[in-house]
Amino acid sequence: MDHATKTAASHHRKAVLFRELHARAGCFVIPNPWDAGSAVERVAAAVEAARAAPAPFTLTARAENFLHGRLDLDDTLLRLQAFEKAGADVLYAPGLRDLDAVRTVCANLTRPVNAIAGAGTPPFTVAQFAAAGVRRVSLGSLLSRAALGAMYAAAREVREHGTFGFAAHAMTSATANGAMREG
């Protein structure tokens, strides 16, 4: 049996056992499925699947320590290095709050690093990210949150002051309609 067949059989067996845990009576406790070891296994499996895909696929692996209050740059970097070794194409540690941390991550990896716009205080610029070594910047939910923020501020202005000053910054209907036509 070749390696790919053995790996697929092993994954299938584990999936069946995991499903059986949910079917039995009572409650069971599992370790965090995103602990470092499990996460590396999942990235490796995702890489294998991506490489078998009929079209080119870019796989990004994330170390979300900073999003979840684990402000440990060394651990974040160890995870990213393990994901890199497992074959991830792009590496990502969302939530890094300063350019020194971003620089450290980029300097210690050989694959492209993704960063999220709007995370720093003040938010970093594209030029600052590029100088730190970032190769890709994601907007995440930033544009939708900016739009929601503008709507919220406008509603507060109307409710609290009875004014419509926000209208001076509103997109014209013609511009909005034109943007929709452009696709």
The per-residue pLDDT for range 90-137, each reduced to its tens digit, is 999 999 989 999 999 999 999 999 999 987 767 899 999 999 999 999
Residues 46 and 83 in one domain: yes
Q: Which two tokens stand for residue 121?
A: 């205080």
**What value does the CA radius of gyration of the chain take, rounded to a whole number of Å?**
22
Coil, strand or helix at 61: strand
**Is 19 a member of any domain?**
no
Residues 164 and 106 in one domain: no
Give 3-state DSSP helix, strand, coil % of the chain, rounded to 5: 60, 5, 35
**Is 18 a member of any domain?**
no
Residues 110 and 71 in one domain: yes
**Is 9 a member of any domain?**
no
**Is 22 a member of any domain?**
no
Q: How far apart are CA 158 and CA 15, in angstroms?
A: 55
Residue 77 has pLDDT above 80, yes or no: yes
Residues 133 and 80 in one domain: yes
Coil, strand or helix at 176: helix
**Is 109 a member of any domain?**
yes
Phi, psi of 139, deg, nearest 5 = -90, -20
**13-45 per-position pLDDT tens digit:** 777 777 787 777 877 666 555 567 788 988 999
Global confidence as pTM: 0.74
Range of the domain at 121: 35-140
pLDDT at 110: 98
